[in-house]
Amino acid sequence: MSKEKATEEILNLLEMQEEILQFTHFTNEDAWELGKFLIEEARRKGVSVALSIRRMNGMTVFEHLMEGTTMDNAAWLTRKFNTVCRTEMSSLRFLMQLRQSGRTMQEKFLDESEYACCGGGFPIRVEEAGVVGVIICSNLNHVEDHDFLVRGLSKYLHMDEVPRISSL
């Protein structure tokens, strides 16, 4: 399979994930419950993550940095948030779109000190309302950060058939 075809297939899969993993509503209480659920999932899997859930206006409604995370992870959370907030798509999907187009972050006027072009940021989309927030993960490799969020959201939303990617 050509590199272009593989990139296109991954982009389609990432778009499908975002379409499937939507909420019917999303309140601050929902953010609290989702955040606790995902931190327990991380503990169960034996991984240490920094996790944040933020509204589109930047208000943090849940954040927890597990043992083993650092201030660098907190900085990654903010950069990934900025990317999803700006593009209203997962940060991994944005990376793949850049790869497909052959463009760079600079060509999109995105400063790498403020935006992250990698996996680990996922839009919180409410049916009929659009993107209302962002969930962000850091401390695994960026594809694993993305997959951790997709797996966790799938389980939380009781969506069994969400396609996943294993690597890029």
Q: Taking a C-beta distance cutoff of 8 angstroms, is the pair 55, 48 a contact?
A: no
Distance CA 29, CA 10 (A): 33
Distance CA 15, CA 100 (A): 14
Could you tell me the domains of the chain? 3-156 (3.30.450.150)
**CA distances for 67 relative to 3, 34, 85, 153, angstroms:** 38, 19, 27, 22
pTM for the whole thing? 0.94
pLDDT of 52-90, one tens digit each? 999 999 999 999 999 999 999 999 999 999 999 999 999
